[in-house]
Chain A
Amino acid sequence: MRDAGIGRHDVQAVYCGSAYGARDQSVHRAPRSHGARRRCNRMPALRRHGSAMKAAPFTYHDPRTLGEALERLHSLEGASLLAGGQSLVTLMNFRIAAPAHLIDLNRVDELAYIRDEGAVIRVGAMTRQRELEFSPLIAARLPVVQEALGHVGYRQTRNRGTLGGSLCHLDPSAELVGVCALLDAVLHLRSASGARDVPIAAWGQGLMTNALAPGEMLVAVTITPWQGPHGHGFVEFARRHGDFAIVAVGAMLRLRPDGAIAGAALCLSGVAPVPVRAAAAERLLIGQRPGHAAWRAAAAEAARIEAMQDQHVSQAYRQHLARILSYRALELAAARALPQMR
């Protein structure tokens, strides 16, 4: 048996996630997964000759405008987009990713912004996680995003990591992806020839596989904050602070004037390859009184989600955590919603 190629061409197990605690993922075309996988082996392919930890050669591009970036993306073969670099550069150092061209978005200033557009908040794809973390607008209108960010990596990674990078890398337990799914975010894509919008529910096609077509890139995300009195809760379980979650759950609850639940959103990350809204659990909560019985019922329903199994974490444990954390997230959201009822 002739073993001729480096691992990136004969990937035995799809590299499906940087469980490094490294946070931002750049916008890059991840290798397509080998079919839908319940099994997630989060390891880089090990069948390699050497021990590459220096990037393979590439041609570097640093556009200054979105237009230039799109033009490069359109015309270059084998190009990856570099956002925060916290995931892509890791993959490049390992030579799991070895793009011929690297289009660095870090100087496209027009892609980094947080805008109050009234009913929605629009965030540019290259907005640093740090900006979201310290934004008064986000604190006021989307506090659940800041709660999720508190679990995301470390100061060094949040300084560079971006919202868009996280969304495009699509690690199964990425908190920012989960919170966007919780809030029914809409993703805005552009290419050299046009634009289209993708609701977050349609964004994840499979394990670390997003809905970008060739030549497309993510430019912005719009999120519609919940109106009226409501509460939020984002909880996760990770082995160490800052690690990728094993499971993360986001919850939003709106209460009726009589105190019963009027609206509920419950989103589970890290259980399935992409974040999953626990729709049956959400339906079950409507009309219930906030409290132990409601959380217990919703948690049991949420735990019925089909879960991944890998060498490090079992399916059963993921489902168990889904149950436990759903309870806790809902309890937290209710605790925040109740004071607003007065």
Chain B
Amino acid sequence: MSGRYFGTSVPRKEDRALLTGQGRFVDDLKVADALHMVMVRSPHAHARVGAIDLGAARALPGVRAVLAYADLPQSLRAQPIPLVHPNAAIKQGFLPYVLAKDEVHYVGEPVAAVVAESRHIAEDAAELVEVDYTALPAISDCRDAIRPGAPLAHSGAASNIAARVPFKFGDIEAAFRGAPVVVKESLFQHRGGAFSMECRAGLAQYDAMQDLYTVHLATQVPHQTKRFYMDLLELADNQIRVIAPDIGGGFGPKAPFYPEYALLPVFARSLARPVKWIEDRYENFVATFQERDQYWEVELALDADGKIRGLRGSFIHDGGAYLPRGLIVQWISSTTVPGPYVMPAFSMEMTSAITNRVPTTAVRGAGRPQAVFVMERLMDRAAQALGLDRAEIRRRNFVRPEQMPYPVGLVYRDGKPVTYDSGDYPACQAMALARIDYAGFRQRQEQARAQGRYIGIGIGSYVEGTGLGPYEAVTVRVATTGKIFLYSGAAPQGQSHHTTLAQVAADQLGIDPGQITVVTGDTAGTALGVGTFAARTAVNAGSSAHVAATEVRRKILRIAAAQMEVAEEDLELKDGYVVVRGAPGMRRSLREIAVIAAGIPGYSLPDGVSAGLEHTATFSPAQSTYSNGSHAAEVEVDIETGHVRILRYVAADDCGHVINPMVVHGQIVGGVAHGIGNALFEHMRYDAEGQPLTTHFGDYLLPHAADVPRVEVLHMESPTPLNPLGVKGAGEGGTLPAIATIIGAVEDALSPFGVKIAEAPLTPQRIVELLGDAALGRTQ
């Protein structure tokens, strides 16, 4: 795939507005007369909800409405929020009502909603709402949840197990029978939340004259959201429009449909005024979905030469109190474990537990970092057991490029068999290792030790399913003014779609990307759409942009050729005109062509011309396409304090062809920062009663500028045959191996002390605990 703009670091169209304070995030939208919604949330992890007294709240001057479950419209009382990803394996699929019906199941669950003239007054009123709770036993830790006799997270449930799913292929018994080497590990991997800088936000308006609800929402999935509104509020297709304006980061948790969203249009209609809800950071901690705990018990069987025979084990996933997105994250974790290695046999049992904590859904990486952590720690263990170099044991097991397409043997969350389509895993690892001078590290390490410094190196490789279907819609339209528009169902939250999609279209239309107006995330822009999540946009929307722009180009040429009585091959598109090659005086403007394609009332269209100079494409991938990468990191550990400093970080990445290298670079570095957070800093803690303990940025630590090293990014391109651009997703790859890489490096640094690490996040305190007396250092 090539072109003038494809593959070029075109500067971003998005920047000027954002740099000058002219961004249009939901709370920036200036709407006269807006009311403000505030939620009353459960302070209990598990409780029965009795009488709710709204009287004092309603009586406060400036309050316009207060609702609890009993006051909801019938359609919202009759049904909980529907499940997005049904799965036959779900035995108990708990789904929440918009406001708690008779029982609350996590701290932060919405119980009532207050709407007032100002946010301040609404909060004053929320304090006056009195709820009669009867506390029930809460189950907090997912390991406790699945034990027989554990308190039930939901009263009346059969158990705290939502699903138990086996993932198997090959003959696992044979793999382990007589295996020369078996390494076992128990691993704990916690990932926290997305904590995008903008919290969730929504603004609903109802226009009585048009009988139209317009909802501006910081959502990654406007079209999906529209469908939820139609179902939950019994609205017609032409009664609801959802628009995602500028969004201040998404990373996954802005994809689900949350209870608060359902309330906004209800209030906007009943109060005949716009209603705004801006989540505050405390709510973002307790009520926005997140990832959390996984506990793994695994063993890896190998031959004496380090070749993998099989992997088996089980893990428990903390699903939280509800399953609004089904089993996505847990499923992805299970199917990502084999990674880039040839795996003859595999058996993994996934147990998804229900707990009295906020639900878990995908956060950048979506269950894959955990799987990579498991596999890479096992590979390191195997290397230790066999006395092999860690890079060497991986080399011996990588799927080789000549084996592509390589069927792993599992079914991915897209419903298709996991089949790696392209990639050169050995070359990618080699590239990373060369850059960090892996070969010279042992000497560096010895020199450091002689100085009393403890440095270590870690490596990690991953394969990532990206470009998920079902499709993304792109309409490319040349308006009768001659101006070019590109509409897409994609809903960016920083991924630069407005620039990259314009680049793809610009190559076909012979125009500067700056001349293409891109409109994303508006259900009035394209009839169909899916949204931006799971590193899918370059593949789906990029391909659709290419197909649509190509088709529009063909139309232009066909019409122009007939008009100008020349052959199509003699024409080219240049800066808004169709010109005859070599005869610049002979040209037609796109405006003229567009007018022809629009037709003249009463006249038939010219032969061979179909209506409108536009085309809508919904590129639909046959399966996910698999990106890969290899990271390497050098760290230094202060054994007296447990502090970890990352000295160098190298990320080698292969996401196929790249639309905009600058954008991909930014995605990778940003992804690594998330991984560093997960490895060393981020922990969303709860106590034994399900009370969240980290509810602000003082206790929940995000990496700062001084905590993230300079990331050296290397590229290779293994184009995929699965889409016309040959691109793969790049939005999450930076995160996937970072945890394993850093933890592996810390363990390597501490190898003189025999410390073994199988957990993340890893704190300085924990390192000191693992070191025991060795941490006394000079004070010994």
Contact = CB atoms under 8 A, between A and B. Distances in A.
Nearest to A154: B704
B168 interface: no
A240 interface: yes
A341 interface: no
Interface string B742-780: 000000000000000000000111001100000111111
A35 interface: no
Contacts of B41: 48-51
Nearest to A242: B704
Contacts of A1: 132-135
A134 to B, nearest CB: 22
Contacts of B286: 51
B699 A50 contact: no
Interface stretch (A71-79, A177-185, A320-328): A320-328
A52 B124 CA distance: 8
B349 interface: no
B695 A44 contact: yes
B779 to A, nearest CB: 5
Contacts of B768: 317, 320
B297 interface: no
Nearest to A247: B641
Given A3-B43, A320-B775, A327-B778, A49 B126 contact: yes
Contacts of B441: none
Contacts of A237: 641, 643, 764
Interface stretch (A18-26, A194-202, A212-220): A18-26
Contacts of A314: 765
B713 to A, nearest CB: 24
Interface in A1-27: 1-4, 6, 18-22
Interface stretch (B83-91, B277-285, B397-405, B551-559): B277-285
B120 A323 contact: no
Contacts of A47: 43-44
Contacts of A2: 130, 132
Interface string B104-132: 00011000000000011001101101111
Nearest to A298: B779
A6 B126 CA distance: 9
Interface in A167-216: none
A307 interface: no
Nearest to B763: A239
A6 B127 contact: yes
Nearest to A17: B698
A44 B108 CA distance: 15
Contacts of A313: 765
B129 A49 contact: yes
Contacts of A296: 778-780
B706 interface: yes
A113 interface: no
Given A1-B133, A1-B134, A20-B696, A51 B282 contact: yes
B468 interface: no
Given A50-B40, A324-B640, A299 B779 contact: yes
Contacts of B779: 295-296, 299-300, 323-324, 327
Given A1-B133, A50-B38, A52-B126, A19 B43 contact: no
A22 B287 CA distance: 24
Interface residues of B, number: 58
Interface string A222-263: 000000000000000101111110000000000000000000
B651 to A, nearest CB: 22
Interface string B631-672: 000000000110100000000000000000000000000000
Interface stretch (A53-61, A264-272, A276-284): A53-61
A37 interface: no
Given A49-B43, A296-B778, A324-B777, A20 B133 contact: no
A341 to B, nearest CB: 24
B698 A20 contact: yes
Contacts of B43: 3, 46-49
B681 interface: yes
Nearest to A49: B40
A239 B701 contact: yes
B706 A43 contact: no
A49 B127 contact: yes
B123 A239 contact: no
B531 interface: no
A51 B120 CA distance: 11
A232 B693 CA distance: 37
A50 B777 contact: no
Given A239-B701, A324-B779, A46 B692 contact: yes
Contacts of B777: 324
B499 interface: no
A53 B764 contact: no
Given A49-B43, A52-B123, A239-B701, A43 B695 contact: yes
B706 A57 contact: no
A54 B640 CA distance: 42
A19 B694 CA distance: 11
Interface string B696-714: 1111010110110000000
B134 to A, nearest CB: 6
B237 interface: no
A52 B282 CA distance: 8
Interface string A30-45: 0000000000001110
B50 to A, nearest CB: 9
A292 B778 contact: yes
A312 B698 CA distance: 11
Nearest to A20: B698
B641 A50 contact: no
B173 interface: no
Interface in A305-323: 311-314, 316-317, 320-321, 323
B641 A49 contact: no
B687 interface: yes
Nearest to A297: B779
Contacts of B775: 320
Nearest to B107: A46
Most chain B beta-carbon contacts within 10 A, residue among A2, A94, A292, A320: A320
A320 B765 CA distance: 9
B11 to A, nearest CB: 30
B691 interface: yes
Nearest to B697: A20
B635 to A, nearest CB: 16
Contacts of A242: 704
A323 B687 CA distance: 30
B453 interface: no
B685 interface: yes
B641 A324 contact: yes
Contacts of A94: 282, 696
Interface in B682-739: 685, 687, 691-699, 701, 703-704, 706-707
A226 B308 CA distance: 67
B39 interface: yes
A47 B41 CA distance: 10
Contacts of B695: 43-44, 46
Nearest to A300: B779
A24 B779 CA distance: 34
A143 to B, nearest CB: 23
Contacts of A52: 123, 126-127, 282
A330 B41 CA distance: 50
A240 B134 contact: no
8 contacts: A3-B43, A44-B696, A49-B43, A49-B127, A51-B280, A237-B643, A295-B778, A320-B776
Given A49-B129, A53-B282, 7 more contacts: A1-B133, A21-B697, A46-B107, A50-B38, A51-B38, A51-B283, A240-B681
Interface of B: 38-41, 43-44, 107-108, 119-120, 123-124, 126-127, 129-135, 280-283, 286-287, 640-641, 643, 681, 685, 687, 691-699, 701, 703-704, 706-707, 763-765, 768-769, 775-780
Closest 4 CB pairs of A and B: A20-B698, A50-B126, A53-B280, A19-B698
